[in-house]
Every structure is written in C-alpha cells, then in structure tokens.
C-alpha cells in the first residue's frame, strides 16, 4: 500500500467504542478498530491514537449544581483510560505492540505521558494510545489530539466522527441546503464559522499548519485516507 503519510494521529470519540449501544463498551466495535489499526501499523505507519470517553462519562452533560466542571472533567478523563485499556487489549490480541500513556498518573495500569518516551515507542513500531486528554480540566480531547499530534511530529491529524462524514456549510441534520466540503482552509473555516473542533484545538492546528482530515469512521476508511483518497474533509 502506497502511503501519503508516515506518522499520523487519529482521534476517536468515545461513541466509536460503544458501537450501536448508547452507553458502555462494544467489544466487537473495538476489535474492528484494533484490527484496522494493526493493519496500518504493519503497512509501516507510525500510529498514535487519542481516545474520547463520552461512552463512559460525559462531564459536560452533568448539571453544574451537582458536580463542578473541573471534577466532572477529571471523571471524563478516567473514562478515556477505560477505553484506551480496552483498545490496548484488542490490539495486543492481534499481535501488535502497544503502550497506553496517560496524562493523569495511574502507574499501575499505564505509563505517565512523556513526549520523548512517546516518540521512542513510535520509532520502535508500537501503537501509542493517549488517554486522559491533556490532564487538565476545561480542555477537550480535540485539544489533546491537536497537542499530542504536534508533540510527536505527526504529519496529519485524523478526526474520526460517528455522526457526519466531513465538514458541512451548516448542520446537515437541520439544514437540507448544507453542502459537504471536500477541502477548506483554516481561514475559510474561521470566516464561515464552520464547526470542525473546539477553538483551542483549531488554533493549535492553524498556527502550526497541521492538516486535519474530518471523516466518519467505518471499516476500511483509514486506509483510504492514508492512500490520499478523497474521504471526508481536508482542512489545511
């Protein structure tokens, strides 16, 4: 397989781990993701993954009168670690090496995130799974994905969604006239107020010229993106 990118970071939402369920883990879905990631690794891709935790706990949905936002965000970070450990188990069942690195210290189950260790793992052919976001409340896993992609020298950030197959001029679920964009610049996205990721993540990608591909995840789509095929929306 001729690859357009050598080192990538993929951001999966927590919903990708729950499959057709509304909550929790669907190991059939996780196994399918793991199989595809292992295939990419064997094709020679340096592969890092940031996982969300919305299928376990979504801190932003908790009423503020019950739990303060910082505490809720920390609870959500722990949810991402659950997903990362599940994905690690499925990847290793398929014969690939992997490491879970967490921004919250949990030494019994995962390595603390250190940039040099992460890049060392990647250079040794291990799939690196980043959990617990940035380790700070008030930041999303989109921001964590942009930050980690820049830290490891990824050539592209791939944002895999479960709802839409790219970036549209409006909400395709509400606006029938909304059109899908195959490619857009960061500046155009700002002017048109296109919803791609949170503003902090967007600024990191724009300021550091990190191209981002937004697409709907389904089996086989990652290989298409890496071959440079027209999938989703390229933000450059």
CA angle 180, 184, 190 (to 5 degrees): 105
Q: Is 57 annotated as a binding residue?
A: no
Q: Is 135 annotated as a binding residue?
A: yes
Q: Is 73 annotated as a binding residue?
A: yes
Tell me the DSSP string of 150-207.
HHHT-SEEEEEESS-SSEESS-TTT-TT--EESEE-HHHHHHTT--SS-HHHHHHHHH
Q: Is 39 annotated as a binding residue?
A: no
Q: Is 5 annotated as a binding residue?
A: no
Q: Is 105 annotated as a binding residue?
A: no
Q: Is 203 annotated as a binding residue?
A: no
Q: Is 139 annotated as a binding residue?
A: yes
Q: Is 115 annotated as a binding residue?
A: no
Q: Is 11 annotated as a binding residue?
A: yes
What does the alpha-carbon distance between residue 111 and residue 125 come to, in Å, rounded to a whole number?
Answer: 17
Q: Is 102 annotated as a binding residue?
A: no
Q: Is 95 annotated as a binding residue?
A: no
Q: Is 13 annotated as a binding residue?
A: yes
Q: Is 74 annotated as a binding residue?
A: no
DSSP 113: P
Q: Is 168 annotated as a binding residue?
A: yes
Q: Is 120 annotated as a binding residue?
A: no
* DSSP-derived pairing of the beta strands 212-216 and 156-161: parallel
What does the alpha-carbon distance between residue 55 and residue 79 come to, in Å, rounded to a whole number?
Answer: 8
Q: Is 141 annotated as a binding residue?
A: yes
Q: Is 138 annotated as a binding residue?
A: yes
Q: Is 233 annotated as a binding residue?
A: no
Sheet of strand 127-131: strand arrangement = 111-112, 98-102, 127-131, 46-51, 7-12, 156-161, 212-216, 233-235, 183-184
* Bind-site residues for ATP: 11-14, 54, 58, 161, 168, 171
Binding residue positions: 11-14, 53-54, 58, 73, 134-141, 161, 168, 171
Q: Which residues are annotated as a binding site for UMP?
A: 53, 73, 134-141
């Amino acid at each position: 397989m001729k690859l357009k990118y050598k080192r990538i970071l993929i951001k999966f939402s927590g919903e990708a781990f729950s499959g057709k369920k509304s909550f929790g883990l669907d190991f059939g879905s996780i196994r399918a993701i793991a199989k595809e990631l292992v295939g990419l690794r064997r094709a020679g891709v340096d592969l890092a993954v940031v996982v969300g935790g919305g299928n376990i706990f979504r801190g932003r949905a908790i009423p503020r009168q019950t739990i303060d936002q910082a505490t809720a965000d920390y609870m959500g970070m722990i949810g991402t670690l659950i997903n990362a450990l599940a994905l690690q188990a499925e990847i290793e069942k398929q014969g690939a090496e992997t490491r879970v690195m967490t921004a919250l210290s949990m030494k019994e189950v995962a390595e603390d995130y250190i940039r040099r260790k992460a890049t060392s793992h990647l250079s040794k052919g291990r799939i690196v799974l980043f959990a617990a976001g940035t380790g700070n409340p008030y930041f999303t896993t989109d921001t964590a994905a942009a930050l980690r992609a820049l830290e490891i020298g990824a050539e592209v950030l791939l944002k895999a969604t479960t709802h839409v197959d790219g970036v549209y001029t409006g909400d395709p679920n509400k606006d029938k006239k909304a059109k899908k964009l195959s490619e857009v610049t960061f500046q155009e996205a700002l002017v048109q107020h296109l919803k791609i990721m949170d503003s902090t993540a967007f600024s990191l990608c724009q300021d550091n010229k990190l191209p981002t591909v937004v697409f709907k995840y389904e089996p086989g789509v990652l290989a298409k993106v890496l071959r440079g095929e027209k999938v989703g929306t390229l933000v450059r």
